[in-house]
Structure formats: C-alpha cells, structure tokens
C-alpha cells in the first residue's frame, strides 16, 4: 500500500475529530475548509466545536490546515465531511457537497480515493458526486468487484462512503469505539478504505454497497425521529387527559421490550433533517412516506405547542408582569451547537410575550450572539425570577442542582422542568 496523504474536506463536528485521529496514526493529514476564520482559529489551537479533547489539541499543529485547494492536490485520499442541510422547503440542500466535490475535482488524479462521510440520501455519492468528478476530471469511476485493479494505467478514481455516527456532547460513544460502516464502489478500493479506517476505529462493518451504507445512516436518525414523535404525540394526548407523561413512561418502561424514548424538541442537523432526505428520495421513486413525514410534522410543531401551553399556564397563575429565566438554548444536552435548535424556537415564541433571560453554560456564546442579536444571554444568574423554564438537560444543570436553581425562583414562582431533569415535570 502506497503512503497515504489524506485530505479532510470540512473541519466541523465530524471532520475535525477525523483529522485528529488520522494524524495520531501518523498519516500525512491535510485539513481543508472554506471558512478562513475557522482555519485561523484551528491554527491557534482553538476548536469551536469543543469536540476535540484539550489534551489532543496539540495534534492540530501536525495537520496542514489550508484554505487553498491547490495545497491539497498531492493527496491521494479525500474525505468529505461538509454540511448537508435542508432548504426552506425542507428539501435536501446539496450545495456544500456539490461545491466541495467540484473543488476537489481540481486535485483528483487517477487512483485517488474519495470517501464521503456527509449524510445523504441513497444514490447521492455515486449518482451526483461520482458524476461530477467524472465530468470535471475526465477520469472514470472504478466499479469492479473482482478485487483486482487490472487496468491501472487507465484513468480511474474510486468512491467510498462511510457515514459518521458520532454524537456531539456524548463522551461514551466516539469515533474510536463505535462501529463504523464502510463501503466502496469496488472491492479494490474497499480494501484500501478498510486499511485506513481500521487504523482509527475499533470496529468496522462492511456494507454491500455505497447505497446500503447511505440508507443505513439515514434510517438510524429517521427511526429516532419517528420514535420521539410518537412520545411527543403521547405527551399531547396525556396532557389533555391530565396524566403526567413521565409517570406513564416510567411505568411502561418496566416492560422488557418497551423502548426508552422521552418527549423532546428535535433540532440540530441530523435527526430533524435526515428524514427529509429519505422522504425526498422516496418521493422521487414514487412513494411519499406517510409515517416519516407525519413524525416530522409532529416534532416540528412541538416548540409552538409547548410555548402555547406554557403561556396559558403562566397567564392563569400569575396576573402581573413577569420575568423568566430560560435554562438551555442549544439544540440538545451537553453540546454547544445552536443550529436548528428548537429550544431557540420555544424561547422566541415566549419572548414575544414575556421578558426572558437565557442562561446556558454550554452554548457557544460567540455564535449565539452573532446569530441572535436580540437574545438576552446572561453569564451568571444573580436575581430572582417569577418563572424558570429548564428545557435542555445539560449535565452542568444537574451539577448546579435543583435547590440552587430553585433559589432563583420568587415566592409562588413556577418551575417548568420540561425534561423532567429533577423529577418536577407537571401537566400543563
């Protein structure tokens, strides 16, 4: 096997840890990103995602961090980890993926391997990215399952797909210890991809095709989304019946095969996005999925549903003008990311009616301030409030503890423990 020079394209939550892991295994690693500010921060040892352990940040010095595409033209493996969001119409927005593919096409030479890690619908890697590379480079995609690279002199490139499964803010499951799916357009390239990923991951699972790997990734999040939607719908049902959903779940969970899901505001760039990718592909193949889109619809409506319930409850209980402390604004617990945060939507709903301070010890304050100009984020809680709403289960809130949080509540104030973090959830 030739010495591999690896370029990681897009140094975010997925790309950066990957670059660090390959670097630790002594590969020659290049990190390419179009965000110049981010590259400068990384050159100075600053990781805005907080996904890299402090003790490992020193490895950044060994990665060649670049913003110019010609600096990575000698690489022979390109791993693409750019965002794949949805647009305003909730359709896949492949712009970043297409742009990145066009850019690296300027570097790709015969024999190079391009592995995609971005989440996509089945068929994207081969039918969209592969076709772009063929058009831009005049090389052909090598698709041979014999395991032999027989036509070495002919102009071929290779494709792979290896979806990322990391869970930002989760210390237990990481790139090294989770099972990583790998797949390729040919058995020849699969061996090379297997060699590379085996260096950084404990367990690999080889998928029968790129499309199987793409589909597997997308249904993991779709399954979660639909399950959470069911529990969210149950929350609405039980609210109407004046039954505490957490008490019901706690009892139901005692059955061995009851799945352990909780109500929640599904945001971020994975669970709330990936089902739309699958739905889009399914619609193009003639079947508009019903359950998947219905689940999305329920989950998307939850922030406004909760906002309405909270507003009505407060108005019934407290007649004067009130102030609120909102605890947690990120899209999920222990993660500094606010992209597509439904807690932010809930906050915005209530902000139209009430005066609110936000306290979040985890959020990336710079991004938050730059994106949400009118948000009153506080660094310390130093006064008393009529209402406290805890909407994200950050471990740091647990550490602060119920008693200290409640100390900031005025007499006869209301504490909404929306995630039942302290067992104080009540029907509203």
Ligand X SMILES: NC(=O)c1ccc[n+]([C@@H]2O[C@H](COP(=O)([O-])OP(=O)(O)OC[C@H]3O[C@@H](n4cnc5c(N)ncnc54)[C@H](O)[C@@H]3O)[C@@H](O)[C@H]2O)c1
Active site residue ranges: 270
Residue with tokens 């149950």: 234
9 contacts 32 by C-beta, under 8 angstroms? yes
Count of residues engaged in binding ligand X, rule: CB under 6 A: 28
Q: Which residues contact 290 (CB under 8 A, 6 or more apart)?
A: none
d(CA 188, CA 407): 64
Asked if 74 touches ligand X (CB under 6 A), the answer is: no
92 contacts 98 by C-beta, under 8 angstroms? no
Give the number of other Cβ atoms within 10 Å of residue 407's Cβ: 11
Give the residue with the Cβ less far from ligand X, 268 or 413.
268
Rounded to the nearest whole angstrom, what is the least distance from the CB of residue 338 to ligand X in the complex?
Answer: 12
Asked if 84 touches ligand X (CB under 6 A), the answer is: yes
Asked if 263 touches ligand X (CB under 6 A), the answer is: no
Query: For ligand X, which residue of 6, 7, 8, 10 counts as binding (CB under 6 A)?
Result: 10
Query: For ligand X, which residue of 74, 99, 127, 407 counts as binding (CB under 6 A)?
Result: 99
DSSP 75-135: -SEEEE-----B-TTS-B--HHHHHHHHHHHTT--TT-EEEE-S---TTIIIIIIIHHHHH
d(CA 81, CA 16): 9
Closest to 309 measured CA to CA, from 261, 253, 350: 350
Asked if 15 touches ligand X (CB under 6 A), the answer is: yes
Closest to 115 measured CA to CA, from 75, 77, 156, 60: 77
Rounded to the nearest whole angstrom, what is the least distance from the CB of residue 240 to ligand X in the complex?
Answer: 34
Rounded to the nearest whole angstrom, what is the least distance from the CB of residue 32 to ligand X in the complex?
Answer: 6
Using the rule CB under 6 A, give the single segment among 98-106, 194-202, 345-353, 366-374 that binds ligand X. Answer: 98-106
Q: Which residues contact 57 (CB under 8 A, 6 or more apart)?
A: 45, 47
Asked if 82 touches ligand X (CB under 6 A), the answer is: yes
Rounded to the nearest whole angstrom, what is the least distance from the CB of residue 16 to ligand X in the complex?
Answer: 8
* Residues 325-354 contacting ligand X, CB under 6 A: none
Give the residue with the Cβ less far from ligand X, 119 or 186.
119
Asked if 368 touches ligand X (CB under 6 A), the answer is: no
d(CA 278, CA 292): 9
Query: For ligand X, which residue of 100, 139, 298, 329 counts as binding (CB under 6 A)?
Result: 100
Cβ burial of 81 (10 Å; 0-12, 13-18, 19+) is buried
Give the residue with the Cβ less far from ligand X, 12 or 307.
12
Asked if 269 touches ligand X (CB under 6 A), the answer is: yes
d(CA 118, CA 116): 6
d(CA 292, CA 374): 35
Asked if 13 touches ligand X (CB under 6 A), the answer is: yes
Write out the two tokens for 31: 């990190």
d(CA 19, CA 14): 9
Give the residue with the Cβ less far from ligand X, 42 or 405.
42
Asked if 119 touches ligand X (CB under 6 A), the answer is: yes
Query: For ligand X, which residue of 8, 18, 27, 33 counts as binding (CB under 6 A)?
Result: 33
d(CA 367, CA 348): 17
200 contacts 164 by C-beta, under 8 angstroms? no
The 136-165 site mask, x for binding ligand X (CB under 6 A), equals: ----------------------------x-
Asked if 110 touches ligand X (CB under 6 A), the answer is: no
Query: For ligand X, which residue of 6, 21, 38, 289 counts as binding (CB under 6 A)?
Result: 38
Asked if 35 touches ligand X (CB under 6 A), the answer is: yes
Query: For ligand X, which residue of 166, 212, 230, 236 counts as binding (CB under 6 A)?
Result: 166
Closest to 221 measured CA to CA, from 292, 323, 123: 292
Tell me the residue nearest to ligand X as measured from the CB.
12
Asked if 47 touches ligand X (CB under 6 A), the answer is: no
Query: For ligand X, which residue of 24, 34, 243, 396 counts as binding (CB under 6 A)?
Result: 34
Give the residue with the Cβ less far from ligand X, 213 or 249.
213
Using the rule CB under 6 A, give the single segment among 77-85, 184-192, 201-209, 397-405 that binds ligand X. Answer: 77-85
Binding site for ligand X (CB under 6 A): 9-15, 32-35, 38, 81-84, 96, 99-100, 103, 117-119, 164, 166, 168, 269-270
């Amino acid at each position: 096997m030739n010495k591999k020079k690896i370029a990681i394209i897009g140094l975010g939550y997925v790309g950066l840890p990957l670059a660090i892991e390959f670097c630790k295994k002594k590969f020659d690693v290049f990190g390419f990103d179009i965000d110049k500010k981010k590259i400068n921060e990384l050159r100075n040892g600053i990781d805005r995602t907080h996904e890299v352990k402090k003790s490992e940040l020193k490895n950044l010095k060994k990665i060649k961090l670049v913003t110019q595409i010609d600096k990575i033209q000698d690489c022979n493996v390109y791993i693409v980890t750019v965002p794949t969001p949805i647009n305003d119409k909730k359709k896949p927005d492949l712009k970043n993926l297409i742009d990145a593919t066009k850019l690296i096409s300027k570097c790709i030479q015969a024999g190079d391997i391009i592995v995609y890690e971005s989440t996509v619908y089945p068929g994207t890697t081969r039918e969209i990215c592969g076709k772009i590379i063929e058009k831009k480079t005049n090389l052909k995609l090598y698709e041979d399952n014999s395991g032999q690279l027989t036509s070495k002199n002919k102009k071929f490139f290779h494709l792979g797909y290896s979806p990322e499964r990391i869970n930002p803010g989760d210390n237990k499951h990481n790139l090294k210890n989770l099972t990583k799916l790998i797949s390729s357009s040919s058995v020849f390239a699969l061996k090379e991809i297997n060699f590379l990923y085996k260096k950084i991951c404990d367990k690999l699972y080889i998928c029968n095709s790129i499309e199987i790997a793409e589909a597997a990734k997308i249904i993991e999040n779709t399954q979660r989304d639909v399950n959470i939607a069911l529990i969210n719908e149950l929350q609405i049902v039980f609210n109407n019946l004046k039954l505490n959903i957490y008490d019901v779940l706690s009892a139901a969970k005692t059955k061995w095969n009851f799945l352990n899901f909780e109500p929640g505001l599904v945001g971020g760039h994975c669970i709330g996005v990936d089902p739309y990718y699958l739905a889009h592909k399914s619609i193009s193949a003639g079947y508009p999925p019903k359950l998947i889109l219905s689940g999305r619809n329920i989950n998307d409506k939850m922030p406004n549903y909760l906002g309405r319930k909270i507003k009505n409850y407060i108005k019934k209980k407290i007649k004067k003008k009130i102030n609120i402390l909102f605890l947690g604004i990120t899209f999920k617990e222990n993660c500094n990311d606010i992209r597509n945060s439904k807690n932010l939507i809930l906050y915005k709903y209530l902000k139209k009616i009430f005066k609110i301070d936000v306290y979040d010890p985890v959020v990336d304050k710079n991004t938050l301030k730059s994106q949400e100009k009118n948000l009153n984020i506080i660094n310390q809680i130093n006064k008393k409030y009529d209402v406290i709403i805890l909407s994200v289960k950050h471990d740091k809130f647990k550490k602060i503890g119920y008693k200290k949080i409640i100390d900031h509540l005025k007499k006869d104030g209301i504490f909404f423990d929306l995630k039942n973090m302290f067992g104080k959830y009540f029907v509203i």
